Amino acid sequence: MIVDPKGRVLSKVPYDTHGMAIADVDLDAAHDKSIYAANDKIADRRPETYGLMALPYEKTPVYRIAEQPLIPAKSVAKVAAVQMHVTRDTAAAEVFDMIDHAAKLGIKVLTLPEYAFCPSAIPSAAEAAALADQTTSLLAKTAAIASRYQCLIALPTVERAAAGLYVTTFLIGPDGKEIGKYRKTHLTAEERKWAKAGDDYPVFETPFGRIGIMSGYDAVFPEVSRCLGIAAADVILWPASLREPFERELLAIPRAEDNRVAVVLANRVDSPYPGGSLVIPPTGFPLWDINVVAPRVFKLGAVMPKHIDLAVCRQKLMIPKVDMFANRLVETYAPIIAA
């Protein structure tokens, strides 16, 4: 398969019949690294946050858990993307009702889309500040549901801190307490007008596996999911407000397969590229076309669940003797992590 710089498939030829794929390549287009309205896929990298990638395998968290045994009865987690958020016609109470419904179904790890309690997929500074003012109340209501059903809930919102506003996803545990939070590191041009960027990729030990989070634009950068993989995430939650088809169609599965983790993508239905929330298992799907194996669902309130075997998430062999992490050549990564 040949894909152009904008993520469009130029040529798709079965190798067992023709043996090659041929297409014209536009070099000017290849030099254009722009994305969205005013972002750049190279200039927006945050190499100062990618230091974990330089660690030798023996010093990484993923090495430390590689041979830790799992209890079979506790090695499967039911996770879900809950495609629900506030709209001009949908109140916050309806979002909480859907979270409650999903948790009642026995889902133990669930996430909402980006800015789930804001009616705008791309909030203005005023809308972001208004959402930040609601966050304390939203966390309390989320905590009540999490403790009622003994589950984990990821709440993507805006956090007000001493340094300013952050695009933050809070992870609330089964006791109703905050397990931790992730502050978005890669900001869109619109977010830079009002938000501060985070600077690390925490992974949280939970009763349902090790959980990492990437938010929206973060997923465009493979270093984010790789850092979470090195930090021994079993599951990566991806609250999103997708803008481009290639984010779901060409990035989602590799983010899971390249790191042998489950990816839970929860997308808004009012974003420029709406719907299509899903859970991707650590070994991906039997077919490469995500729209064939997991057709997009556009319904507000759709719940996309899947059982994830944590033992499979911790099996990092791509093929015999080729470990996705042990075989990394960290001495060659200077261009990736150099600021």
Inter-residue contact 217 to 186 (CB < 8 Å): yes
- Alpha carbons 277 and 297: distance in angstroms, whole number: 7
Dihedral of alpha carbons 34, 38, 39, 40, sign? positive
> 153-157, 192-196, 214-218, 286-290: which has the minimum mean pLDDT?
286-290
In the 3-class helix/strand/coil scheme, how is 174-187 assigned residue by residue?
A: CCCCEEEEEECCCC
Which pLDDT does position 117 carry in this prediction? 98
In 3D, which of 233, 193, 197 has the Cα closest to residue 215? Answer: 197
pLDDT digits (tens, 9 = 90+) for 297-337: 999 999 999 999 999 999 998 888 899 999 999 999 999 99
For 181, the token pair is: 């939070």
Per-residue model confidence as pLDDT tens digits over 11-64: 555 555 556 777 787 887 888 999 998 999 999 999 999 999 999 999 999 999
Per-residue pLDDT band at 181 (split at 50, 70, 90): very high
Q: Are 145 and 96 in contact (CB under 8 A)?
A: yes
- In SS3 terms, the chain reads as CEECCCCCEEECCCCCCCCCCCCCCCHHHHHCCEECCCEECCCCCCHHHCHHHHCCHHHCHHHHHCCCCCCHHHCEEEEEEEECCCECCECHHHHHHHHHHHHHCCCCEEECCCCCCCCCCCCCHHHHHHHHHHHHHHHHHHHHHHHHHCCEEEEEEEEEECCEEEEEEEEECCCCCEEEEEECCCCCHHHHCCEECCCCCCEEEECCEEEEECCHHHHHCHHHHHHHHHCCCCEEEEEECCCCHHHHHHHHHHHHHCCCCEEEEEECCCCCCCCCCEEECCCCCCCCCHHHHCCCCCCCCEEEEEEEEHHHHCCCEEECCEECCCCCCHHHCHHHHCC
Nearest to 117 by CA among 90, 140, 79, 98: 90
Q: Give the dihedral sign, CA 264/269/271/272.
A: positive
- For residue 2, is pLDDT > 70? no
Residue ranges covered by each domain of the chain:
33-337
Sign for the CA dihedral angle at 13, 14, 17, 18 comes to positive
Structure tokens given for 198: 């985070």
Burial of 101 (0-12, 13-18, 19+ CB in 10 A): middle
Cβ atoms 322, 294 nearer than 8 A:
no
- What is 33-337's CATH number? 3.60.110.10
Q: For residue 319, what pLDDT is reported?
A: 87
Structure confidence at residue 13 (pLDDT) = 54
pLDDT of res. 67: 87
pTM for this entry: 0.93
Cα distance between residue 277 and residue 234, in whole Å: 19
| pLDDT given for residue 12 in this prediction | 57
Tokens of 156: 């993507």
